[in-house]
């Protein structure tokens, strides 16, 4: 059975055996879904570990505002 772990940067559930990378921090091993997540973690591990770690929704940018339809400009 695969050991599923959570990427601390994006929150994705991944298989530790097939992770794109791993890093050691304060005696714990962290696994990543992509090289970009590993690089972000390696640059600022304290940002992603502990109580201040963002949830996946906090890490995502806000959705763009819906565009007006052409007829709404004349209201």
d(CA 1, CA 73): 57
Tell which wins on pLDDT, 15 or 68.
15
What are the CA-CA distances from residue 74 to residues 51, 59, 66, 67, 70 (Å)?
A: 49, 37, 17, 14, 8
pTM listed for this prediction? 0.65
What does the pLDDT read at residue 24? 95
pLDDT band at 57 (very low <50, low <70, confident <90, very high): low
- Which domains are present in the chain? 4-60 (2.30.170)
Residue pLDDT, tens place only, 9-46: 999 999 999 999 999 999 999 999 999 999 999 999 99
What does the pLDDT read at residue 56? 55
């Amino acid at each position: 059975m695969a050991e599923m772990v959570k990427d601390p940067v994006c929150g994705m559930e991944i298989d530790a055996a097939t992770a794109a990378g791993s890093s050691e921090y304060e005696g714990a091993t962290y696994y990543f879904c992509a090289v970009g997540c590993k690089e972000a973690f390696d640059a600022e591990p304290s940002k992603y570990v502990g109580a201040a770690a963002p949830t996946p929704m906090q890490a995502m940018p806000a959705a763009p505002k819906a565009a007006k339809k052409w007829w709404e400009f004349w209201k």
